[in-house]
Structure 1
């Protein structure tokens, strides 16, 4: 890391101290070859409490992990998408209870397996209860816009009646993002840049990293049968570089970010929608999206949870989340990245790793070790 960049990073994190318990826990995970390295962060509503970088961002080149390394945050994109939707609700442009068809005509006339017409709401999309089918990477091919993705979604049969069950659904989140595009008149990446990322100072959060940002990308790894870490790619890129714009902005999981960037977003949410004197969301909107909106539906990926609007909400802390408070909310990503905001203890927990083949990234031993070390 260049000295001037290092000083800048320290300035943004208020000279955070490294928590030795967290550092030791991550070092053990590196030594056990569970991960190549990690960036961990704990913060409150005012400052960074811990910022650590352990292990390597690239094993082959023995490149040390740095606090400003870029990560594919995958489904940690979903809370950002939920936030964009609620920003539009605050602006009077939509209600999450509105039918999607009010804004996307192609969703009119959706029918279930019995031929009965069904109505999918924006809330259904954000709580994974819409019943929409997934679109595979092969089917989406070279589609480069959310607009062009929508006909593929509605062409597929409904999986179940909207609101009747919880089933993790990428197409629902992308549909909600398309609604944001229609009501705002802006492409989703432009909307996020203009209304969220730039005002918050999230200069390294993007669907399409620059060449300079790509050089700071932490390498993704999977475990071999022999227990070694083997370099692997990012599942959604195909053979395209991460700098390519020739793919649609995956609101469900296409963002790249850094610890310092995501901390700013999380702190704004922890503070009820305000940061540094600027209000991004009403307190009512923050409350709505970070409390259970999925009713009594049984949700995944770990027990004791419900679902808000783009956020997982912990009803009953247990297992990997045992040290967190009831009402903690957050989201995990496919390659093990995690963000959790505890509104009782006023703590932000951020874990950035790139492990491709975890059986359950939300229920990983790495996440458990991080939370437990943070609580010491």
Structure 2
């Protein structure tokens, strides 16, 4: 039986072991990331807070995950970064700081940022009808067959108040274009009138298609050109290179006897020669902890990082302020929703260490980031566990934030 304690050390990432060998042999398929990256400079060991490592290691010892990377920063300075446990138990590969992770729905805020860039440039408004950019969204109907009374707006896509249903996913690589996916979603009835309820879903797929229409570029190329490269998010990608695949953290799930871990499935780790997998705006990105940190530090800095401005301060303020009023939202009590991000309205439970107004997003396999503007703090957690009952309410997140806050207060 493999255990999570077999490996320890400095930073991490995740996905499916059954495909790791095949992945390592595949070419890079996404032209937006075809450029060779400069070699990573050797860095001094980052600071570590022993209490954070101890709290998270205890969960690894209970087979809650194989390994993880955790980061806490304040005022743009990292006060803790560690990679503990294993990136792949079968290979005895330790977790490392440059591990690649499938960040799943943490893709959504990056998609929202692309929409907001285009709004700043006057190429769209979030109050535009979706049908202005995708005509198939005209004449929508509700599930009872009656016409929709409220116009479906781009803002509804970003706040999960659209009423749109998700698509059935094929078992293999997703090869439908974003245009095809959006048109298929337009054919399905809405679950409710736009703006009347909150229901988490895949509406950011449609937002990604709107980015293509408004910009005239493929979605992944727009993100790479306007967000990833300017922010030096050098590893963020929808398609893993051979070298990145070798650093991918394996996705695990708890075994039937609940005394160990077994490899889990990750449908996004399915590179196939000759097939270009669709870059999914709702959940297709892979990244390192550094990539995630840099994107959210930009938001904490009101849209700028190291002299590079991605968004105007007023745009970031709109994205990170409550947009859903009193509508009940998920995934834990006390939350609301901004434009592409979750907002902490009343800290409690897993969010008890955060200030009101904190914002962030999680991913299906346990990844998470929270920004606390009141404390100028940033918490990033990267792990790959396929069967967490509620990844947004995991003990990993609560402990990182609680121990991270103690470390901030002790400074």
- Asked if Structure 1 and Structure 2 have the same fold, meaning a TM-score greater than 0.5 normalized by the shorter chain, the answer is yes
Q: Tell whether the 8 Å contact from 1:104 to 1:179 is kept in structure 2 after alignment.
A: yes
- The 1:245–1:68 alpha-carbon spacing in structure 2 relative to 1, beyond 3 Å, is farther
Q: 1:66 aligns with which of 77, 80, 96?
A: 96
Q: Secondary structure at the match of 1:335?
A: coil
Q: 2:121 aligns with which of 91, 104, 109?
A: 91
Cα distance, 1:49 vs structure 2: 1.7
Describe the superposition over 1:99-145 as per-residue Cα deviations: whole angstroms up to 9, x where unpaired.
11111111111122342234211110111110011101039975342
Q: 1:341 aligns with which of 371, 378, 384?
A: 371
Is 2:180 aligned against 1:154?
no
Cα distance, 1:258 vs structure 2: 0.2
What is the rounded CA distance, in whole Å, between the counterparts of 1:366 and 1:233 in structure 2? 21
Q: Secondary structure at the match of 1:120?
A: coil
Q: 1:209 aligns with which of 227, 234, 240?
A: 240
Q: Tell whether the 8 Å contact from 2:152 to 2:194 is kept in structure 1 after alignment.
A: yes
What is the rounded CA distance, in whole Å, between the counterparts of 1:187 and 1:7 in structure 2? 28
Q: Tell whether the 8 Å contact from 1:132 to 1:169 is kept in structure 2 after alignment.
A: yes
Ranges in structure 2 where 5+ consecutive residues have no aligned partner:
1-8, 10-37, 407-411
Is 2:84 aligned against 1:23?
no
Cα distance, 1:8 vs structure 2: 2.3
Q: Secondary structure at the match of 2:379?
A: strand
Normalized against structure 1, the TM-score is what?
Answer: 0.93
What is the rounded CA distance, in whole Å, between the counterparts of 1:236 and 1:69 in structure 2? 16
Q: Tell whether the 8 Å contact from 1:209 to 1:243 is kept in structure 2 after alignment.
A: no
Q: Tell whether the 8 Å contact from 2:358 to 2:373 is kept in structure 1 after alignment.
A: yes
Cα distance, 1:244 vs structure 2: 7.6
- The 1:198–1:7 alpha-carbon spacing in structure 2 relative to 1, beyond 3 Å, is closer
Cα distance, 1:26 vs structure 2: 1.6
Partner residue of 1:199?
Answer: 230
What is the rounded CA distance, in whole Å, between the counterparts of 1:32 and 1:244 in structure 2? 41
Describe the superposition over 1:44-75 as per-residue Cα deviations: whole angstroms up to 9, x where unpaired.
23322211000000111111100000000001
Describe the superposition over 1:288-308 as per-residue Cα deviations: whole angstroms up to 9, x where unpaired.
011111111100000000000
Q: Tell whether the 8 Å contact from 2:160 to 2:201 is kept in structure 1 after alignment.
A: yes
Describe the superposition over 1:137-191 as per-residue Cα deviations: whole angstroms up to 9, x where unpaired.
0399753421121121011111111111111111x11111111111111111000
Q: Tell whether the 8 Å contact from 2:173 to 2:267 is kept in structure 1 after alignment.
A: no
- The 1:352–1:39 alpha-carbon spacing in structure 2 relative to 1, beyond 3 Å, is same
Cα distance, 1:200 vs structure 2: 0.8
Aligned length: 368
Is 2:257 aligned against 1:231?
no
Describe the superposition over 1:16-52 as per-residue Cα deviations: whole angstroms up to 9, x where unpaired.
3011111111211111110100100111233222110
Cα distance, 1:198 vs structure 2: 0.7
Cα distance, 1:248 vs structure 2: 1.6
Residues 94-109 of structure 1 mapped to structure 2, 5 A cutoff: 94-109=124-139
What is the rounded CA distance, in whole Å, between the counterparts of 2:172 and 2:256 in structure 1? 32
Q: Tell whether the 8 Å contact from 1:335 to 1:357 is kept in structure 2 after alignment.
A: yes
What is the rounded CA distance, in whole Å, between the counterparts of 1:243 and 1:191 in structure 2? 24
What is the rounded CA distance, in whole Å, between the counterparts of 1:59 and 1:243 in structure 2? 27
Q: Tell whether the 8 Å contact from 1:140 to 1:149 is kept in structure 2 after alignment.
A: no
Q: Secondary structure at the match of 2:364?
A: coil
